[in-house]
Structure 1
Amino acid sequence: MKFTINRPAFIKYLTDVQRAISSRTTIPILTGVKITADKQGLMLSGSDSDISIEIFIPISDDTNQLEVQEEGGIVLPARIFSEIVKKMSDEKLTIEVGENFQTKITSANAFFTINSINVENYPYFPVIDSNEVITLPTNLFKQVIQHTVIATSTQESRPILTGVNITIENGTLKAVATDSHRLSQRIIPITMPENLKENSYKVIIPGKSLVELSRIVEDQDTIEMMVTENQVLFKAENLYFYSRLLEGYYPDTNRLIPNNSTTQLVMSASELLQATDRSSLLSHEGKNNVIKLTISPDNVELSGNSPEIGTVEEDLNYEDATGDPLVISFNPDYLKDALRTFGHQNVTVSFTSAIRPFTVVPTENNTNIEQAFIQLITPVRTY
C-alpha cells in the first residue's frame, strides 16, 4: 500500500477516528488504526469494541489531495502514528507499507519507519441491514443528545442507566435519561419512510457513544440510523459510527413525571442559572452540596448555608410566582446542568411538594407534542 495525502486534512480524519480507539483495551490490535486504500479512496477505522468509527476519504474530493499509488491495507499503532503525523512539517504526507509490515511515513525531509500489523488480523465490523433506514435531522438530534446525556448515570452498578433510552414510533423520537436523582426527556418529530411507519424501535444507547457521535458528526442536514439486535449504526456523508446497545429493561419513567403542580415559578433560565451558581459557591466548599429555594407570595429567595464557611442569600428577579408557599432543598449542580440546556429562554419550574421531584420546562412550548422537553430533579430532604 502506498498513498500521498494533504496532511492537515488527514489529521482531522485521524483525530475523529481516534475517538473510538482506547489505549486500555484488552485486545492489543484495537489500539491501532486500520487504513485501507483502493481506487476510490482511503478508509480509516478504529474501535474499542463499544464504539467503532469508519471514515472514508474519497479521491474525488480535491481538498484531500489524495493519490493512491498502490492499493492495500495496514494497522498502525494509533497513538504514536498520530503524534508522528501531527509533528511533520510539510503539507503533503506519504505512507508506504514495505516488507514485514514495516511502514514508512515521509513528509518533507523527515522520514519514519514504524512496525505495523497485518490488516487481516483486524476484527470485522458488524453487518447492518440497510433496508430499515431512519433519517434524523442532524442538528436537532445533536441537540437531543446534549439535552439528555447530562442525566445519564456514571455508576456502573446500574449499567442500564448509563444509557439514553430512545423510542421511535408514531412519527416521533423520544429520548429519556435518568440516574435516579434527575431525569431529562426530549421528544422530536421525525419523518418515517412508508415501509417503516408501522414499526417501532426501542434502543438504549450508551451516553458516552452519543457524546462522541455529537462531537464527530458534521453539520449535514440529515444523519441515517440503522438498528440491529445489539448494534446501532449512524451514517453521515463519509462517516460510519457503530455503537453497541445496552441490554436490559429501562425503568418506566412516565410515572416519575408529575401531571400537576401546587407552586409555579417563571423566570429567565440564564438568570436562574447565574443565581444558582452563586448560591452553590459555599455548598461546594461545605460537606453538604445543597441549596434552598424559598417561594412566598411576594418574594423568591435562593440561599445556601455552610457551617464551616458562612451563608449566602439572594432575592431572585422572577417573571411570575403562583400557588402555595414552598421551601425546597436540592443539589445545585443538577439544576445548573438542567438550566444550561434552555439557553436564554424563560422556563417554568413546577413543584408539587418539598419532598417530590420538580420539573423545569420551557415556558413557551413551540411544538404540539406534550412533554416535549422536560428536566426533572429530585429534592434533598434536609430534616
Structure 2
Amino acid sequence: MGQGIRTAVVTVAALAAWGAGSGVFAAGIDDGAVTAPKLADGAVTYRAIVPGAVTNSKIVDGAVTDEKLGFGAVTTPKLADGAVTDAKIAGPIAGHKIGRHGHDAADIVQGTIDAARLPVGTAPGTVAAGDHTHEGLLRRPAELITVALSGGDFTNPIDALNSITDASADKPYLVKIMPGTYDLGIDTLVMKSYVDIEGSGELTTRLRGNAADAGVVAGASMAELRNLTVQASGTEGTIVGIFNGSAAPRIAHVTVSAEGGKGAYGIYNLMAAPVIADVTVLAGGSDTAFGVFNLHSSPIVRNSAIKAGNGIYSYYSGTVTVEGTSVNASLTTLFTDVGATTLVANSRLTGGRPASNGIMKCVGVYDGNYEPVSCR
C-alpha cells in the first residue's frame, strides 16, 4: 500500500472537486505545506482554481514567476482589487504582459519615443524630424540686403551699400529699402555696379538730402534705381537730386525733386548715358532750375514727366533721345547747344518753346492744346 501511495497521482482537478466540498483549501492544508517543488509544471491551471481560493497569504513572495504564468492566464476577474501591490511586482513588467495603453506627456520622464509613435511632418500639428530643415522657406539669399527704419539689416541705405564689397556680374545684389523717409543729410548715396536699389514705391520710400553739387544719389553703370522718391533741397551750393558722372544707370519708376540753392537740377548728367524711364522730375526755385541737364551726355528719356523752369538742356556733345514724354517748362522746354543732338518723338511740350543751336529733330510733337510743335 505504501508503494501505491507513492505512485498515486492526485490531480489538482480531483483536489479542487474534493476540497470545494470539504473545506480543505480553507483549513485542511497548512500554510506553506504545498510548495512550488511539490507541484509539477503546468499541474495547477487557472481553470482548477476556484475564484478567490488562492489569497495573497497563500503565495510566498517570488513563488509566482513569469515562467509559471501562461500568456493571458491572469485576468482581471482573477485579481481582487488591490491584490497586486508594488511590493508584489519584482523587476520590470514586459511590454507583452501589458495590453495596449497610452500615457500622458507628464508620465514620460526618461527614455526615447519611437518615431513611429509621433506625427512627423511639416504640416500644423506635426513634429519636425531631427534632420528636417526649413532652409528653402526661411533662408534669405545673402545677396539681398534690407534697409528699414526698424527690423532690417541696416537703417541707413548708405551703410547698406558700403557693406557690399564683392558685387559682380556673377554675383549681383539687391538693396531693398522698406517704406519710410530716410534723411541722408549732406551725404550721398553712391550706387555700385551690379547692385540694384529698390524702394517700396514712389509714395512710400523717400530718400531725402541736401548734398550740394554731389547729389542725393550718384549713379553707377550696370545698376538700377527704382520704385522710390529722391528729394533734394537746401540753401547752399547747387542742389542736385541724381548725379550721373561717367555712368549709365537705369532709373525707373522714380520721382525726383530738387529745389533751392544757387541752382536746382533734378537729374544732372556729365559724360553719362543713363536710361530714364517712367520718371517724374520736378525742379524749381529759380530760373536756374533744370529738369534734366546734360553735358557731353547721351541719355534716353522715355515715358516720363518733367516740370521745371527749364526742361531738358543739352550742351557740347552727345545725343539725347526723348520719347513719349511730357515736358512742362516756364522758360524753355528743350534746348540743344552746338555740337549736341536732341531727337524727340511722340512727346508733349508745354510752356516755353524749344530752342536749338545744334541739331533737333521732332516727330509727333504737340503742345498743351494738342497743336503740332515744330522744333526748327
TM-score normalised according to structure 2 size: 0.17
Which structure is higher in helix share? Answer: 1
TM-score normalised according to structure 1 size: 0.17
